Amino acid sequence: MEIKRVMVVGAGQMGAGIAQVCAQSGLKVQLNDNNAVALERGMQTIQKLLDRSVLKKRITEQEKLETLQRLSVSETLQDASKANLIIEAVIENMEVKTNIFRQLDVIAPADAILASNTSSLPITEIAAVTDRPEQVIGMHFMNPVPVMKLVEIIRGLQTSDQTYQIIEDMAKKLSKTPIAVNDFPGFVSNRILMPMINEAIYTLYEGIASVEDIDTSMKLGMNHPMGPLTLADFIGLDTCLYIMEVLHEGFADSKYRPCPLLRQYVKAGWLGKKSGKGFYVYN
Ligand code: 3HC
């Protein structure tokens, strides 16, 4: 099966980014959200990034218009009846995600693939609420989606080889580099990234260095594009804490214990860039 029509469920930063790269690679895409304001905001983000790409001469005005023509919006999951791949990119909450997958399983064509952009929830458990677990898979994109090349493709216990192959081919069509990952807590990228961020927060908590110096150490010492505390603010401290908890619980290993300072910041509502304050202050 060749993927031709995609629905992306969830018009937040990740969903909008996924819809954009799919449309830019020639696929017909519906961006779906039950919140009209979020949908509007998602489409505006795509429009702005495409305008910038024209300005930077990465694409022509004509290519931008063609991309926008391939994109449409949808406020009801019923529209999934027209898609052969549905990529869910809603909040990291098992109940919300399984509720969507149950509905998609009924609405989507029998041969459609259901993918989740989850950063940490088990694909096997999401797949188990459907009657097509062999056609359920993880497609974990990185933020910002239009820029980052990696897609982790996560195979649930029941994901078929055929589903995996179709999604791997599709990720390449999006000009991304796929990696094959088995379904364990944090997958690969967050299993490595989040303990590093957590350790940077411990380094601050124990008074070993300042926020700026911790970031400088990794930026100039290891050539990371962002220091770990800047990156934590960019990802969202609530998301970082949530993923550390998934690792801690999933492996029952104290090496994944979330730093108390991270917990305290989240309790204070200091969630990073999105709330205006995290390890840094944002306007
Ligand atoms: N959306 C789309 N494009 C963006 C963007 C965004 N949110 N932010 C930056 N860009 C583009 C810019 O437009 C710019 O392109 P252009 O100037 O050629 O048009 C290009 O990226 C570079 O941006 P800047 O010059 O403003 O800044 P930087 O050179 O610092 O790059 C960055 C920004 C690409 C975000 C870079 O700092 C970076 O790679 N940071 C690390 C990002 C990272 O680690 N992401 C993974 C997070 S973890 C994750 O997603 C997993 C999840 O499960 C938690």
pLDDT digits (tens, 9 = 90+) for 108-147: 999 999 999 999 999 999 999 999 999 999 999 999 999 9
Q: Is the pLDDT of residue 208 over 90?
A: yes
Interface pTM (ipTM) of the complex? 0.94
The reply to whether 222 sits in an annotated binding site is no
Query: Which pLDDT score, from 0 to 100, does residue 1 have?
Result: 81
228 with 280: CB under 8 angstroms? no
Among protein residues, the one with the nearest Cα to ligand 1's atom 14 is: 147
Q: Where are the alpha helices (DSSP H) in the chain?
A: 13-24, 36-55, 61-70, 94-107, 123-127, 161-173, 189-205, 211-222, 228-235, 237-251, 260-268
Which residues are catalytically annotated? 119, 140, 152, 190
266 — pLDDT class (breaks 50, 70, 90): very high
Percentage of the chain lying above the pLDDT 90 cut: 99
55 — pLDDT class (breaks 50, 70, 90): very high
Q: Which of 147, 152, 179, 247 is the pocket-test mutation for ligand 1 (most atoms within 8 Å of CB)?
A: 147
pLDDT digits (tens, 9 = 90+) for 250-259: 999 999 999 9
Cis ω before 144 (30° cut-off from 0):
yes
Burial class, 145, CB count within 10 angstroms (exposed 0-12 / middle 13-18 / buried 19+): buried
275 with 234: CB under 8 angstroms? no
Among protein residues, the one with the nearest Cα to ligand 1's atom 43 is: 143
**Residues contacting ligand 1 via CB (< 6 Å):** 49, 52, 56, 119, 142-144, 146-148, 189-190, 193, 225-226, 231, 235, 239
**Residue 22 CA: distances (Å) to CA of 41, 105, 239:** 18, 22, 25
Query: Which pLDDT score, from 0 to 100, does residue 2 have?
Result: 85
Among protein residues, the one with the nearest Cα to ligand 1's atom 20 is: 147
**Residue 141 CA: distances (Å) to CA of 135, 148, 278:** 19, 8, 24
Q: Is the pLDDT of residue 37 over 90?
A: yes
Among protein residues, the one with the nearest Cα to ligand 1's atom 47 is: 143
Distance 144 CA to ligand 1 centre (A): 5
The reply to whether 143 sits in an annotated binding site is yes
Average pLDDT across the chain, whole number: 97
Query: Which pLDDT score, from 0 to 100, does residue 209 have?
Result: 98
What is the rounded radius of gyration, in angstroms, for the C-alpha atoms of the chain?
19
pTM: 0.95
pLDDT digits (tens, 9 = 90+) for 62-80: 999 999 999 999 999 999 9
